[in-house]
Structure 1
Amino acid sequence: MDWTSIFSLSAIWAGFLFTVDWAIRIASVFFVPAGRKPSAGMAWLLLIFALPIPGLLLFLLIGNPKLPKKRRDVQTEINEVLRTANDDLELGTLLPNPPEWFAPITRMNRELGALPLSGDNGARIISGYQESIDAMEEAIRGAERYVHLEFYILKADAATEGVFEALEDACRRGVHVRVLMDHWANLAKPLHKQTKARLDAMGADWHLLLPLKPLQGKFQRPDLRNHRKLLVVDGEVAFLGSQNLIDPSYNVPKNIKRGLKWVDVMVRLDGPVVRSVDAVFMTDYYSETGRVPDGVDLAEQIPGTDDFDCQIIPSGPGFEAENNLHMFLSLIYAAKKRVVMVSPYFVPDEALIRAVDGAVTRGVKVELFVSEIGDQAVVYHAQRSYYDALLRAGVRIWMYPGPYILHTKSLTIDDEVAVIGSSNMDMRSFGLNFEVSLLVRGDEFVERVREVEDAYRDVSRELTLEEWVKQPRRSRTLDNLARLTSALQ
């Protein structure tokens, strides 16, 4: 082959690639933005225009933020069943004299998440990491009928040994032990095989959530995750919050080397709201197994030890709306005096930024607690990209010191309402993760949450605008680049 032929083939190949590149770019303008938030559509278009072929391949892999249609149909079916059962779940006497905005928000939560507000509930904050694990162990040891355990990360290690011993003892007593855990999150952490073997040996009925097993026909967007953390015992006691069931170092060698430890909050619940927590577990169990757990009666009335009004808000890609984001926005817009947000990963969308800015403009005192150090580099830098705008708006930002990772997810509004759960205030939790949040109305409960916030404030330092503007240009560039990736939904 002579040089003329080689150059001719090169020209043809170059022309082909040029045509493909521009065909991808032009087609993406028509197909990418459809049904997406403007920020997400723009981020995808920027990526595809910069790197057409790699960008297209990535879009095909993780560009769909929803579950496969079959799984969405299951969630729709479950929601209808829950709405039909709402009369059974709506128990207890509600507190008098709610603020005018409260009933419309709880109604919205019910319409979106299919679960009602209930009264006469007990709710106790547990802010000690091992303390919450020990409290869950104690509840499991008292089980007589069933234990429902669902955690994003679940590991049999030194910190959770008591829980696993309690589960083993429950199985020996004939108690039904059902366990759910996220597939990818656990696969990527140490002790996964040992944990599965332990569950098998005790005879637990356990399943992986959102399993990535394409050869078995189980596949969806790989980064869709079930991020929920909850425990239900006999339909009488429940635990819910931000903490995974694992050592506070997550047993990861690099975390141990850095001395990282997670700081979390869980809530122990009793009363009618426990049935709603159980309903969330049952929907996830049914989604993975196609079976409804036996021995569970959602209509059974269990009195609570206090009089708090509580509502459970499930959210995730199985729902048509971003239930948690709708709730956060509505509560922040309703605030009259004070908003305190605790979120380890604060990567808001435009609507949440506007809600926060509007609250400050109305004279509401707004505070945000975040970790001073990060465990996920991209999210950490994306979060930092919002600090300038927040500080200029008048938000006070508190940095929880290392080597701890502040992992609590909470929101308090005035002296009326608190929200605690698994949901961060970031775009991943709004659109890609299955989350569960607890809304509580009651002065005493809000006061207890304020005490936790005060404890965080006592050890944190305040980030000021004067300090922030001194950040080197390279850091700001990295933060802004990471911000673009956060919108790839």
Structure 2
Amino acid sequence: MHLSFYKDFAYSIAITIVYLINFLAVLNLLFREKRKTETTIAWVMILIILPAAGCILYLVVGRGIPKDNMFKIKEAEDKIIKKNILDTQVRLEYDHELDSNIVEHRDMIYALANSNDANFTTNNDVDIYSECNSFFDSLLEELKNAKQYINIQFYIFKDDEIGNKIIDILINKVKEGVEVRLLYDEVGSRLFTDKSVLKLKNAGVKVGAFFPSFLKIINFNLNYRNHRKIVVIDGNVGFIGGNNIGDEYLGKDPRFGNWRDTHLRLTGDCVRDLNIRFILDWRYTTKEDLDLNKYFNETCYTSNSNSNPNKDIGIQIVSSGPDITDLDEIKYGYIKMIQKAKRYVYIQSPYFILDQTLTDTLKIACLSGVDVRIMIPSKPDHPFVYWASCSYAGELLKFGAKLYTYDEGSFLHAKTIVMDDSICSVGTANMDIRSFELNFEVNAFIYSSEIAKKQRLIFANDILNSKEITAEIYNSRSTYMRFKESISRLLSPVL
């Protein structure tokens, strides 16, 4: 009887603690954290309907993070950024030799410059890789050619076959006197072994883990991931896009088959802006105090690579993350592109979960006669996210959008949007709420008819390997699929 009493007492205490935590969590969501209404409602529902599971979920993935001055800008960087923005304003106002395509989109350039301090540069060239093998071949070659420094950052870094190739190159470059920094996300790179990390550090490579886990198993910032993929070599060459470092990106994982992604190789002045983003992330993670003169003096950004002379391509490097509560900078860029479209908007994303603003923007584009086409994978890597994506994409069919699911033997991971043979964006941000609100992301917005046409042709070629999901096909889906979509959509703000 005494044992039963103590069990009941312990149970009552546990329940009381759960409800107390949930009550405090709800108060925190409603009055302290400035989250989107949909996200707040979703979390409140989870905490009320599933008190025990909701309590655990909220403690693990639902808490906010400190947002004030997370990536502190020092005086030296502030001078660089202010000079860049001033140069952007002067160039847009007084440069009468700007390409007509750039002049037409001054409003968008200003919007991203004002919301994100996104410097606009024109002395750039771009190579688009729609084949992962081509990207990795180029990356390996440029890493081998490094003379001064390598700054490399990936959400996922594995020490498998391709990962070890890169590790060996990084170690060899250190032996040659090249300064090497490797930054990875702790959760995304959970399969990156301590043995390889130690090997890199012992060789002289500087290594940092973003939001590290406690004892490798507990991560108090599990819900906030650094999803950026950045490589800067000698200040001359930069890489940005969707690929991570892992054999599956080379099509060697039978679960996914061929991996379809898009990555960019950049040269020119935009590489400086990409490097600033890396250094801000690096310093927050490692607290290393870098000598910025070494990385941002003008002579560091003269092209000495094997590439052709830079063309006159306009680029803005735009980053976003949960450290800034009032702005969703990359999402604003996507919305602005859709709003400006007169002829077409083509979107590729492995995850397609929209808030009301983006949903309405795409609906208005469809109703305005814009050819809106959306391409998502044909199979899920995260089932709930995939079912929610199907729901949001399917909703747009009745407004005239066209929906494609990419090759059943492949996985589409590209994050691209292109409009009117005029502007395209390629980077790390998916078309989903998580990328806009919870992940740290970076995209290149490119103002070039030449590059936009290339991206349109890539999309058109991908259609040949895709299945079009018409309104009739979508409406004939099973009751079970409708149920899965409904539940997933309800949870979509927290997926």
- TM score, norm. by length of structure 2: 0.87
Stretch of structure 1 that moved more, 242-251 or 283-292: 242-251
Are the structure 2 counterparts of residues 102 and 259 from structure 1 closer, same or farther at C-alpha, using a change threshold of 3 Å? closer
- Whether 1:263 aligns to 2:260 is yes
Match of 1:137 among 137, 140, 146: 140
Once the two structures are TM-superposed, the CA of residue 479 in structure 1 deviates from its matched residue by 1.7
- Over residues 329-365 of structure 1, what are the superposed CA-to-partner deviations in whole Å (9 max), with x where a residue is unaligned? 1111111111010101111111111110011111111
- Whether 1:402 aligns to 2:408 is yes
Paired with 1:281 and 1:298, the residues of 2 have a C-alpha distance of 16
Stretch of structure 1 that moved more, 76-85 or 110-119: 76-85
- Whether 1:317 aligns to 2:314 is no
Q: Which residue of 2 aligns with 1:208?
A: 209
Once the two structures are TM-superposed, the CA of residue 203 in structure 1 deviates from its matched residue by 2.0
Paired with 2:480 and 2:329, the residues of 1 have a C-alpha distance of 37
Once the two structures are TM-superposed, the CA of residue 87 in structure 1 deviates from its matched residue by 1.8
Are the structure 2 counterparts of residues 470 and 116 from structure 1 closer, same or farther at C-alpha, using a change threshold of 3 Å? same
Once the two structures are TM-superposed, the CA of residue 110 in structure 1 deviates from its matched residue by 1.9
Paired with 2:196 and 2:14, the residues of 1 have a C-alpha distance of 49
Are the structure 2 counterparts of residues 119 and 259 from structure 1 closer, same or farther at C-alpha, using a change threshold of 3 Å? closer
Once the two structures are TM-superposed, the CA of residue 482 in structure 1 deviates from its matched residue by 1.6
SS at match of 1:296: helix
Once the two structures are TM-superposed, the CA of residue 473 in structure 1 deviates from its matched residue by 0.9
Q: Which residue of 2 aligns with 1:442?
A: 448
SS at match of 1:225: coil
Contact map agreement 1:95 1:307 (CA 8 A) in 2:
no
Letter in 2 for 1:262: W
SS at match of 2:454: helix
Contact map agreement 1:127 1:264 (CA 8 A) in 2:
yes
Once the two structures are TM-superposed, the CA of residue 28 in structure 1 deviates from its matched residue by 6.3
Q: Which residue of 2 aligns with 1:458?
A: 464
Contact map agreement 2:351 2:385 (CA 8 A) in 1:
yes
Paired with 1:174 and 1:379, the residues of 2 have a C-alpha distance of 45
Are the structure 2 counterparts of residues 18 and 340 from structure 1 closer, same or farther at C-alpha, using a change threshold of 3 Å? same
SS at match of 1:226: coil
Q: Which residue of 1 aligns with 2:223?
A: 223
Are the structure 2 counterparts of residues 420 and 18 from structure 1 closer, same or farther at C-alpha, using a change threshold of 3 Å? closer
Unpaired segments of 5 or more residues in structure 1? Answer: none
Contact map agreement 2:112 2:329 (CA 8 A) in 1:
yes
Paired with 1:417 and 1:268, the residues of 2 have a C-alpha distance of 17
Are the structure 2 counterparts of residues 77 and 368 from structure 1 closer, same or farther at C-alpha, using a change threshold of 3 Å? same
Q: Which residue of 2 aligns with 1:50?
A: 49
Once the two structures are TM-superposed, the CA of residue 135 in structure 1 deviates from its matched residue by 0.5
Paired with 1:485 and 1:447, the residues of 2 have a C-alpha distance of 37
Q: Which residue of 2 aligns with 1:104?
A: 107
Q: Which residue of 1 aligns with 2:306?
A: none
Stretch of structure 1 that moved more, 92-101 or 165-174: 92-101
Are the structure 2 counterparts of residues 211 and 15 from structure 1 closer, same or farther at C-alpha, using a change threshold of 3 Å? closer
Q: Which residue of 1 aligns with 2:421?
A: 415
Paired with 2:176 and 2:12, the residues of 1 have a C-alpha distance of 72
Paired with 1:198 and 1:13, the residues of 2 have a C-alpha distance of 48
Contact map agreement 1:153 1:246 (CA 8 A) in 2:
yes
Once the two structures are TM-superposed, the CA of residue 112 in structure 1 deviates from its matched residue by 2.5
Are the structure 2 counterparts of residues 212 and 25 from structure 1 closer, same or farther at C-alpha, using a change threshold of 3 Å? closer
Matches within 5 A, 1:141-180: 141-180=144-183
Matches within 5 A, 1:366-385: 366-385=372-391
Q: Which residue of 1 aligns with 2:193?
A: 192
Q: Which residue of 1 aligns with 2:276?
A: 279
Paired with 2:398 and 2:168, the residues of 1 have a C-alpha distance of 51
- Over residues 28-53 of structure 1, what are the superposed CA-to-partner deviations in whole Å (9 max), with x where a residue is unaligned? 66543342212112111211221234
Paired with 2:240 and 2:223, the residues of 1 have a C-alpha distance of 23
- Whether 1:338 aligns to 2:344 is yes
Paired with 1:40 and 1:235, the residues of 2 have a C-alpha distance of 40
SS at match of 1:269: strand
Paired with 2:455 and 2:60, the residues of 1 have a C-alpha distance of 40
Letter in 1 for 2:60: L
- Over residues 59-104 of structure 1, what are the superposed CA-to-partner deviations in whole Å (9 max), with x where a residue is unaligned? 2433234x325xx323253699446534258588773334676222
Q: Which residue of 2 aligns with 1:247?
A: 247
Paired with 2:167 and 2:19, the residues of 1 have a C-alpha distance of 57
- Percent identity between matched residues is 26
SS at match of 1:47: helix
Q: Which residue of 2 aligns with 1:87?
A: 83
Paired with 1:259 and 1:387, the residues of 2 have a C-alpha distance of 22
Letter in 2 for 1:127: S
Contact map agreement 1:82 1:114 (CA 8 A) in 2:
no
- Over residues 93-131 of structure 1, what are the superposed CA-to-partner deviations in whole Å (9 max), with x where a residue is unaligned? 773334676222222212232231111211111122121
Are the structure 2 counterparts of residues 18 and 231 from structure 1 closer, same or farther at C-alpha, using a change threshold of 3 Å? closer
- TM score, norm. by length of structure 1: 0.88
Once the two structures are TM-superposed, the CA of residue 133 in structure 1 deviates from its matched residue by 0.9
- Whether 1:359 aligns to 2:365 is yes
Contact map agreement 1:82 1:115 (CA 8 A) in 2:
no
Stretch of structure 1 that moved more, 52-61 or 266-275: 52-61
- Whether 1:36 aligns to 2:35 is yes
Once the two structures are TM-superposed, the CA of residue 20 in structure 1 deviates from its matched residue by 7.9
SS at match of 1:268: strand
Stretch of structure 1 that moved more, 374-383 or 24-33: 24-33
Aligned length: 476
Contact map agreement 1:101 1:334 (CA 8 A) in 2:
no
- Over residues 413-459 of structure 1, what are the superposed CA-to-partner deviations in whole Å (9 max), with x where a residue is unaligned? 11110000011011110011111000011111111111211221111
Once the two structures are TM-superposed, the CA of residue 15 in structure 1 deviates from its matched residue by 9.2
Q: Which residue of 2 aligns with 1:73?
A: 69
Paired with 1:175 and 1:402, the residues of 2 have a C-alpha distance of 43
SS at match of 1:33: helix
Unpaired segments of 5 or more residues in structure 2? Answer: 304-308
Letter in 1 for 2:395: A
SS at match of 1:44: helix
Once the two structures are TM-superposed, the CA of residue 202 in structure 1 deviates from its matched residue by 3.2
Stretch of structure 1 that moved more, 153-162 or 345-354: 153-162
CA RMSD of the aligned region, Å?
3.1
Once the two structures are TM-superposed, the CA of residue 160 in structure 1 deviates from its matched residue by 4.4
Paired with 1:162 and 1:341, the residues of 2 have a C-alpha distance of 33
Paired with 1:292 and 1:13, the residues of 2 have a C-alpha distance of 50
Stretch of structure 1 that moved more, 103-112 or 437-446: 103-112
